[in-house]
Structure 1
Amino acid sequence: MPQPNSSEADFDLLDVPPAPAVHYAEQALLGALLLEPDRIQALGTLHPADFANAGHLAVFDAMTTLTPPPPEVHTSKPLWLTAVLEHARPAARGLTAAYLHQLVGACPDPAHAPAYAAIVRAGHARRTLRAHAEHLVHTAGDPMLEDQPSAALTAADRLAGVLDHLAGRLPAHSSTLPRTPAPAHPVCDPDNEDVEDERLLLAALCARPTEAARWLQPADFAEPLHGQLFRCLLDVDRRGDPVDPVTVLWQAQHQGLITPTLPPAELLGMLTDGSTATTEHSVELILRRAMLTRAHTTGLTVLAYAQDDTNTTGQLLTGTRRALADLTAVRHRWQRAIDPIPARTAQRQTPVSPRAGPPPPLAKPASVVRAAR
């Protein structure tokens, strides 16, 4: 049989616990093949690595390596069971003949072997996505990594590649999104240096609009209030009004941002004195942080979906595609902000996989994000 995709083999999936029902499906499948070994031809693509149990992996590997005896010999002598046991035992030292007989007893009907194999494949898909999601969470959340953005995007690309591979092995059907609640975005410490950078950028944009800000969206800001103020700034410009701290404050009032705990004088102070901020550099930093935050949240989201056994495999794949599509959108804006021309050229040469979701069309730039004359 062909070997599994190399991108899946980088993780030891035997360390990932299977869903409860998968264990019994593995037993039933192996029992069916011990009873009627010729049924292995009807299983479709199935690899030993698809099994969650190391002993089951060794038994199936033996079955795919050995040649079954002729049917008339198989029905009269236990040659097949003995051969499988001898071949699998070096890789599964605790394996016994009694356990193989237990596998036989665990099979309700050998004719249902293809259905059992489908469950095994689905369980492997869940464990694989879970392992790659955990890797993405670790990579995107480790600031000590050298070139963390590249490492996080590489992990996301590998997750997308594995998703495409697994989707090709499983039945194609439309599905709804998982019912599992997606994890909330992390709350930023108000004293964090990133929050101060965002405040300075808002003040700088009120004083000196710049084209670099065209790649920003309100959701990119770590502090929700800053994202709301950036939306106010865009709204003022879309109306054709001049942009400055006072006009943005007026729009903020309409959005309900002025409260007893955030009086207008304090809000106005946040929108002034941005002379020390380099807007282009600040935009790049905010987009870089937004991309890493989205990558981390994407990993957590896929992990939450994979850990919830009530989600069907179709829901898991659909939810993973949606999460990756959201990351792809932020990724492209960050890359274009860094170097717009090469990023657009690379996008034409290597289009994003449709399974990962295309980036949304960019909004028409407003004059506030064009260079001031």
Structure 2
Amino acid sequence: MPRTPAPNEPEDDLDDLPDTHTPQPVYYAEQALLGALLLEPHRLTDIAGIEPDSFSNYAHGALFAAIRALPAPDAVQHTKDTIWLNAVLTAAREHARGLTASYLHTLIQVCPWPKHASAYSRMIGVDHARRTLRAHAERLAQTATDVTLPHPVPATLAEADALAAAVDDTAARFPPHSGSLPRTPAPGPAATPDDAEEAADEERLLLATATAHPADIEQMRWLTADDFTHPLHAGLWQCLTALTRRSAPVDPVTVLWEAQQRGLLTPGIEPADLLDLLGEPAGSPQYWGERILQRALLVTAHRVGHRVAAFTHDPATTPYQLIVGSRRALAELSAVRTRWHHATSPAPTPLPARTRATAPPRAGPPRTTAPPAARISR
């Protein structure tokens, strides 16, 4: 988030780039809280749940850290001199050299009511949670589309876990209450990816290869029609899965007939073209299926990241709505993630059948006396 300078802060402390952003409401909440603490330092005991990095303004965070680090002054003496204020300023300037004594007095003047310090701190905590979730969501969306990653799925899922942990942390700090779901409109459809043609080629190869090896389809329940990028390909996959589950014959002609029954032969889709598509197998269905599912997982992660980020950009979204909306979005990714693990986990090795071995005869107790003499019959 761009750093917001404090008033009277020299431009050279901001790399000679003055900030032109309009201050947001949280900026004034931060000013009010700091003014309350400077005026009545004992209010610090009412503050919980925020840290110096919770402030959107770096100088404000440095000032809060200095206030926490220094012992509170005597209440009566504090009204008579500025010794404690000077000490706070000196400590804060070690990290934010643009702070001035006049700005501290400005903070005191703009604070409406020092007794409302805890309310101001909660506003700061809410905004910090919003910014934290936004940062994690944006990293998730960016990672999901980073073509330079050698292993994009593990990196993307790690970012999803980090976002989920941030949501859980927010939920722990803001207990749930009754309320509505986020009213934020969903982001528009994503732009056509650069690899759209590659995705279509992989889907065509899967359909042709699965038609040639229908026995493999039953082992690929982890792949669904929603994972395909092209509606016709999704429909043909449903034809293949339906035929195999009915134990019906599978070849290009039977798939073509099933496609006709499902209304896939719309104008512009010629039967001969479908037969050509289904008649050029290459590789294995498992390989192409994993490629399609990987792309679906990354696309879903990108969509989830944008969705959560949209929640955080809506200032009307409450912490509770952020939590519920984010968890619902992450649940969509979790469903695809589960199927990915099913697809890529090695098949369990069947245990050998247990045979019931014949137990050796048990040895009797040792004899301690001579056996009885054999009885001689007359």
TM-score by length of 1: 0.80
Whole-angstrom distance in 2 between the partners of 1:13 and 1:44: 25
Please say if residues 205 and 280 of structure 2, whose CA atoms lie closer than 8 Å, have aligned partners that are also in contact.
Answer: yes
The amino acid that maps onto 1:100 is L
Q: What are the within-5 Å matches in structure 2 for residues 193-232 of structure 1?
A: 193-209=198-214, 210=216, 211-232=218-239
Shift of 1:241: 4.8
Q: Deviations over 1:131-160 (max 9, x none)?
A: 122222222211212222221111221121
Equivalent of 1:266 in 245, 266, 273: 273
Q: What are the within-5 Å matches in structure 2 for residues 16-27 of structure 1?
A: 20-27=24-31
CA shift in 2, pair 1:41/1:254, >3 Å: farther
CA shift in 2, pair 1:294/1:190, >3 Å: closer
Aligned to 1:353: none
Whole-angstrom distance in 2 between the partners of 1:141 and 1:178: 27
CA shift in 2, pair 1:207/1:104, >3 Å: same
Aligned to 1:181: 186
CA shift in 2, pair 1:82/1:279, >3 Å: same
Equivalent of 1:159 in 163, 166, 174: 163
Shift of 1:242: 4.4
Please say if residues 19 and 123 of structure 1, whose CA atoms lie closer than 8 Å, have aligned partners that are also in contact.
Answer: no
Equivalent of 1:91 in 92, 95, 113: 95
Whole-angstrom distance in 2 between the partners of 1:189 and 1:266: 25
CA shift in 2, pair 1:334/1:202, >3 Å: same
Q: What are the within-5 Å matches in structure 2 for residues 267-286 of structure 1?
A: 267-270=274-277, 272-286=278-292
Shift of 1:129: 1.3
Equivalent of 2:75 in 67, 71, 78: 71
Shift of 1:198: 0.7
Shift of 1:239: 5.9
Range with bigger deviation, 161-170 or 333-342: 333-342
CA RMSD, Structure 1 to Structure 2 (Å):
2.6
- Identity, in percent, stands at 47
Whole-angstrom distance in 2 between the partners of 1:19 and 1:224: 47
Whole-angstrom distance in 2 between the partners of 1:321 and 1:36: 40
Structure 2 residue 61 is the aligned partner of structure 1 residue 57: yes
CA shift in 2, pair 1:311/1:327, >3 Å: same
Shift of 1:269: 3.4
Alignment size in residue pairs:
329
Whole-angstrom distance in 1 between the partners of 2:235 and 2:191: 17
Structure 2 residue 172 is the aligned partner of structure 1 residue 168: yes
Shift of 1:168: 1.3
CA shift in 2, pair 1:114/1:268, >3 Å: farther
Equivalent of 1:307 in 307, 310, 313: 313
Shift of 1:255: 4.4
Structure 2 residue 253 is the aligned partner of structure 1 residue 249: no
Whole-angstrom distance in 1 between the partners of 2:75 and 2:232: 73
Whole-angstrom distance in 2 between the partners of 1:283 and 1:18: 50
Shift of 1:197: 1.3
Q: Deviations over 1:74-94 (max 9, x none)?
A: 233233322221211121111
Structure 2 counterpart SS, 1:215: coil
Structure 2 counterpart SS, 1:205: helix
Shift of 1:238: 5.4
Aligned to 2:344: 338
Q: What are the within-5 Å matches in structure 2 for residues 309-324 of structure 1?
A: 309-324=315-330
Whole-angstrom distance in 1 between the partners of 2:136 and 2:194: 28
Whole-angstrom distance in 2 between the partners of 1:309 and 1:220: 33
Shift of 1:65: 0.6
Structure 1 counterpart SS, 2:99: coil
Q: Which runs of 5+ in 2 are unaligned?
A: 5-20, 349-378
Range with bigger deviation, 252-261 or 278-287: 252-261
Whole-angstrom distance in 2 between the partners of 1:268 and 1:239: 21
CA shift in 2, pair 1:186/1:247, >3 Å: farther
Whole-angstrom distance in 1 between the partners of 2:86 and 2:247: 83
Structure 2 residue 45 is the aligned partner of structure 1 residue 44: no
Please say if residues 18 and 52 of structure 1, whose CA atoms lie closer than 8 Å, have aligned partners that are also in contact.
Answer: no
Shift of 1:62: 0.7
Range with bigger deviation, 303-312 or 89-98: 303-312
Aligned to 1:365: none
Aligned to 1:32: 36
Q: What are the within-5 Å matches in structure 2 for residues 120-131 of structure 1?
A: 120-131=124-135
TM-score by length of 2: 0.79
Aligned to 2:296: 290
